[in-house]
Amino acid sequence: MTAQFQKPKELRAQKPVRVIFTGGFLGAGKTTALGAIARRLLKQGLTVGLVTNDQAANLVDTAIVNELGVPVAEVAGGCFCCRFSDLVDATDQILAKNPDVLLGEPVGSCTDLAATVVNPLKLFYGDIFRIAPFSVLVDPIRVRELVLKETPTRFPEEVAYIFRKQIEEADIVVLNKIDTLSPQEADRMVEALKGLQPNKPILKVSALRDEGIENWLQMLMSDAPAGSHILRDINYETYAKGEAVLGWLNATVRLVGSPEFDAGKFAETLMSELQASINAQNAEVAHLKFLISSGTKMLRGHLTKADAEPNFVGELGEIGEGTLVLNARVALSPEALSSIATQAVLKAAKTVNAEAEILSLQSFSPSYPKPPYRVSEPV
C-alpha cells in the first residue's frame, strides 16, 4: 500500500508519542474535552502538545488551549484532511518540544477522517506514533435533533449526513454534556446511538465537569484499534454540500472604552443581537463562539443551537480596552453572516459606549473537501 502514497516528510521523535484525535460535530465539546484530558495527563506528569484546526485563522480555540500552558500549533486555512502536509508540519513543531502525548482537534464539519488523517498518520508515521482510538463527541442537543428527531432542525439533510458519518467512522462514540441530562435521559440517548452504531463503545462524559474522563482516557492510552471504521460509501457530493451550507465567519475586533466599558454587558448584547438576527432568518447555528480578552483575563460566549440558551465562561467586568475574536458557523450565506456579525458588534459596542474597530473579518463557505491522501484499508 505504501508504494501508492508519497510520505509528506520525515518526522523524528525522541520517544514514541501517543496521538489522540477527538472529532465530533461543531460545538460538541472537543476543545473542552481535550482541555480536560490535557489537565489529567499533566497531573500524571506527562508532557503534552496540541494542534488546533480551522478553515481560517484567528481561532477562539487556540486562545482557549493557550491557557493550558502547553505547546500549541494551529493548522488554519483548511481541515487536517485537506491540509495533511500542514498537519505534519504542525506536528513537527510540537515534536520539537518532545511531548509524551499529542492532542488534535479536527474541524467539526469534517468527516472521513479515519481514511484521510488517522490511517495516513499510521501508515507514514506508525514507527513514532501510537495512534489512539478515534473518538467522536456527540452533543445531546444534536441527538434529540438528528437521531431521535424529537426536536425540529433547521439544518438541511446534508448536514445531518455529515453528523451520521462522523458517528459511523468513530472507534469510540462519546456522549458529552451528560451534566445536562438525567441518568435516564443519558441512557436513552446511548440506546439511540447504539441503534445507529451497535458494534462500538459508547461512553457518557461531561467534559465541563470532568466526569467520565478517566475511563475514556484509559481507552485512549491503550492499544485498542484506531481508525478501524473507514467509511466505505461516503458520498463526497453530499458531504461537500453539507459543509457548504455552513457560513463560516472569523473576525477580530479591537474594543476601546471611554475610558472604560462593561465587557459582560457587551458580551450579553452581542450574543442576543446575533441570536435575534439569526432566528429572524430562520437559520440554524452549528457553533457560534466569541472570546473577549483584556490583559490576562478573558470572557467567552458560546451558542450551539439557534434557539438554545447561550453559555458564558469567565468574567471581565469594566475594562479600558479588549480584543474580541468571533468565530461563527451558521447555516447562512457568508454575506448574510458577515452583515449580521458586523451590525451586532457595532450595536453591542454602542450599548456600552465603546468604540469597535474591525481589524479582520473573513466570511466564506468551506470549499469542496479534497483530501490528498485517502487510505481506504485499515493500516
Binding site for Mg ion (CB under 5 A): 30-31, 61
The number of residues that bind ligand GTP (CB under 6 A) is 22
Cα–Cα distance for residue pair 342/228, rounded to 1 Å: 44
**Cβ proximity to ligand GTP, 61 vs 158, nearer residue:** 61
In whole angstroms, the minimum distance from the beta carbon of 207 to Mg ion comes to 11
Pick one of Mg ion, ligand GTP, none as the site partner of residue 222 (Cβ within 5 to 8 A by kind).
none
Report how far residue 34's alpha carbon sits from residue 125's, in angstroms, rounded to the nearest whole number.
22
What distance separates the 2 farthest-apart alpha carbons in the chain? 64
By CB under 6 A, which span of 151-159, 205-213, 234-242, 245-253 interacts with ligand GTP?
205-213
Among 249, 287, 354, 369, indicate the residue that binds ligand GTP (CB under 6 A).
287
Q: In 3-state terms, what secondary structure has residue 9?
A: coil
Which of the residues 127 through 156 are near ligand GTP (CB under 6 A)? none
Of 18, 30, 165, 200, the one binding ligand GTP (CB under 6 A) is: 30
Q: Which of 29, 49, 99, 366 binds ligand GTP (CB under 6 A)?
A: 29
Name residue, grid cell 483584556. 294
Residue 28 contact, options ligand GTP, Mg ion, none, Cβ 5-8 Å cut-off depending on partner type? ligand GTP
DSSP 44-85: TT--EEEEEE-SSS--HHHHHHHTTTS-EEEE-SS-TTTTHH
- Grouping H, G, I as helix, E, B as strand and the rest as coil, residue 224 is coil
Min separation Cβ 311 and ligand GTP, Å: 4
Candidates 30-38, 150-158, 347-355, 371-379: pick the segment binding ligand GTP (CB under 6 A): 30-38
Would you list the DSSP string of 88-105? Answer: HHHHHHHHTT--SEEEE-
Of 71, 99, 108, 242, the residue at the interface with ligand GTP (CB under 6 A) is: 108
Q: Distance (Å, rounded) from C-alpha 207 to C-alpha 138?
A: 11
Question: Between 260 and 365, whose beta carbon lies closer to ligand GTP?
Answer: 365
In contact, 129 and 49? CB cutoff 8 Å: no
Question: CA-to-CA distance for 277 and 378, rounded, in angstroms?
Answer: 46
Q: Which is nearer to Mg ion, 21 or 124 (CB)?
A: 21
Burial annotation 271-305 (CB, 10 A radius, 16+ → b, else e): bebbbebbeebebbbbbbbbbbbbeeebbbbbbbb
Q: Which does 49 bind (CB under 5 to 8 A by kind): ligand GTP, Mg ion, none?
A: none
Please tell me whether residue 311 binds ligand GTP under the rule CB under 6 A.
yes
**165 in contact with ligand GTP (CB under 6 A):** no
Position among 56, 95, 143, 207 found at the interface with ligand GTP (CB under 6 A): 207
- Residues 178-197 touching ligand GTP, rule: CB under 6 A, are 179-180
**Cβ 347 to Mg ion shortest distance, Å:** 27
Span of 2-10, 26-34, 87-95, 195-203 interacting with ligand GTP by CB under 6 A: 26-34
Judge residue 22's burial from the number of C-beta atoms within 10 Å of its C-beta, 0-12 exposed, 13-18 middle, 19 or more buried. buried
Is 305 a residue that touches ligand GTP (CB under 6 A)?
Answer: no
Bond before 120 cis per omega within 30 degrees = no
Q: How far apart are CA 322 and CA 263, in angstroms?
A: 8
Residue 259 CB, nearest distance to ligand GTP (Å)?
Answer: 31
Q: What x-and-dash track marks residues 43-82 binding ligand GTP by CB under 6 A?
A: ------------------x---------------------
Of the pair 165, 177, the CB lying nearest ligand GTP is at 177
Pairwise CA distance, residues 212 & 358, whole Å: 41
Query: How far is residue 328's CA from residue 283's CA, in Å, rounded to a whole number?
Result: 12
Q: Are 112 and 150 in contact (CB under 8 A)?
A: no
* Min dist. Cβ of residue 247 to Mg ion (A): 18
**Nearer Cβ to ligand GTP (26/306):** 26
End-to-end, the C-alpha distance of the chain in Å comes to 9
- Which residues sit at the interface with ligand GTP, rule CB under 6 A? 24, 26-32, 61, 108, 176-177, 179-180, 206-208, 287, 302, 304, 311, 313
